Structure 1
Amino acid sequence: MTVLLANPPLPAVECRQVTRRFAGQAVLDHLDLEIAPGEFVALLGSSGSGKTTLLRALAGLDRIDEGRLQVPEALAAVFQEPRLMPWKRAWRNVSLGVRGEGAKARALAAMTEVGLEHRLNAWPGTLSGGEAQRVALARALVREPKLLLLDEPFAALDALTRIRMHQLIIALWRAHNPAVLLVTHDVDEAVLLADRVVVLDHGRIAEQIQIRLPRPRQIATPAFHNLRARLLELLGVDSDPDVASAADDSQPLSRTGNR
């Protein structure tokens, strides 16, 4: 009897030997990275490590000098600033680029998902910071992306709004199941949200850590604390020397260089 094995799904993101230079210096240095369909990956690194450069390249907003990038056609990006058109009402911002007679209905459905069905006709200038970011999320979701790129979208929000946005992004990710790449400077945010944390250093992957903590995740647990300390150490931040360098609920994927 012959057993036919199903082919594994193609990655949502595939980077092979990706290099980007500015003024002759490599910001991305022969970087290899894969993101599986439906996987949530957080990208950490100090300023200048190449995080935003990689995200912009994946979004098609910046070129690469060497290597190969593969991303799905259906992708969307949300940035730190909501980047709403102030002369368009909220639903029209959401439906930007959406073609067909059902554009408003799709915008309403997306705004309902992010809890803003009552703000459909609001002008951007009347929205709070959290509301504006939810409109930006709705604008991304209305395109049903296979890849969602998030460039520090919660950095400018107050602490309580940020917690609510974390809960919302997890709910939306579960509902739509896109691959997600989140660029962040916040170690706690990375561990709270991601399936895997990738640490960049000088344009290369220093380490990747699989996060195996159950959801919803709690900061006040030893496993979370150990992961946090380990990531801070990788980022060059002093941590409690008594904390173990690895947690039982994590598994390193690579320790030096690329995969």
Structure 2
Amino acid sequence: MHDASELDVPTPIDRNRQTTVADEAQRAVRARGLTRRFGTRAVLDGLDLDVAPGEFVALLGRSGSGKTTLLRALGRLDRISEGHLETPAAVATVFQEPRLLPWKRAWQNIALGLRAPDARRRALDALNEVGLAEHAQAWPATLSGGQAQRVSLARALVRDPKLLLLDEPFGALDALTRMSMHKLVQKLWRTHRLAVLLVTHDVDEAALLADRVLVLSQGRIEHEERIVLPAVRSVDQPEFRALRRRLLTSLGVEVADEAIAAAPARLAPGALR
């Protein structure tokens, strides 16, 4: 991580400029009036957002709500049409697919584009941190889905990001592997003290992992829940079920009775994308 002498300094920004460096002593993300148009359609429509350093935020929303567009804007993968957007200089993204180069070994995928004399050592350290030290020489085709996603996560962390963007990274994993990845992400978040923005269609996942859950609708944040739950969270807690019910309601999903409210709230991917 950077020491105090390496903190990024904020610079002025024009109204229509893409990004600037956030004042990391105050926030990891600051967006005001963020707008992204495709033709005449505004996918992001005057969106305001703040993410504090070290905060874990989950983002829910139906198909077409603008989740992926927002993530791409924060990751500097897409331009904005209007608005003021500040992000750290160091941002990393983990996608739903690991996106590993099949002709490079695991450690080489992690070190790809890393301009440092100790790139190999840093890649091996990152692999060790995600529990795959013994797979450094493995080809991507020999890795399981969970292992490949761990390599992808290591590739993000090796760049020492101040903001980590997770675009449904657990959606294609089986239930047990997904639980293991949840624990790993929580451990890495606490260790590195970085800001995390998770896009997910899994209401339970959002409530189990995040400090704060946002619901995006028609290009704006329409609902916010700050998580106030016991230190050890469980889907069986009455407080958790009440939170799930509120989130589902904010997504326009009718919860008819307590039995439905207590059922796993992982909707089909297409329903909430």
Given candidates 173, 193, 198, the residue that maps to 1:157 is: 173
Q: Does 1:113 align with 2:129?
A: yes
Q: For residues 155 and 253 of structure 2, what CA distance do their matches in structure 1 show?
A: 36
Q: Does 1:39 align with 2:55?
A: yes
When normalised by structure 2's length, the TM-score is: 0.84
Cross-structure match for 1:170 = 186
Residue 121 of structure 2 aligns to a residue in which SS? Answer: helix
**Alpha-carbon deviation of 1:242?**
6.2
**Alpha-carbon deviation of 1:238?**
1.1
Aligned 8 A contact 2:24 2:88 in 1: no
Given candidates 48, 54, 59, the residue that maps to 2:64 is: 48
Distance change >3 Å, CA 8–CA 58, structure 1 → 2: closer
Aligned 8 A contact 2:24 2:53 in 1: no
Residue 100 of structure 1 aligns to a residue in which SS? Answer: coil
Cross-structure match for 2:198 = 182
Cross-structure match for 1:209 = 225
Q: What is the aligned length?
A: 238
Q: For residues 215 and 137 of structure 1, what CA distance do their matches in structure 2 show?
A: 25
What is the 5 A alignment of 1:87-166? 87-166=103-182
Can you list the C-alpha shifts for 1:24-56, whole angstroms capped at 9, x where unaligned? 111100000000000000000001000000000
Q: Percent identity?
A: 64
Cross-structure match for 1:254 = none
Q: Does 1:76 align with 2:60?
A: no
Please tell me the root mean square deviation across aligned C-alpha atoms, in Å: 1.6
Return the letter of the residue paired with 1:68. Answer: H
Q: For residues 212 and 19 of structure 1, what CA distance do their matches in structure 2 show?
A: 31
Q: For residues 161 and 79 of structure 2, what CA distance do their matches in structure 1 show?
A: 21
Q: Does 1:191 align with 2:207?
A: yes
Residue 112 of structure 1 aligns to a residue in which SS? Answer: helix
Residue 191 of structure 2 aligns to a residue in which SS? Answer: helix
Distance change >3 Å, CA 113–CA 23, structure 1 → 2: same
Gap runs ≥5 in structure 2: 1-22, 262-273
Can you list the C-alpha shifts for 1:45-71, whole angstroms capped at 9, x where unaligned? 001000000000000111110001100
Aligned 8 A contact 1:229 1:240 in 2: no
Aligned 8 A contact 2:167 2:200 in 1: yes
When normalised by structure 1's length, the TM-score is: 0.89
Q: For residues 183 and 230 of structure 2, what CA distance do their matches in structure 1 show?
A: 14
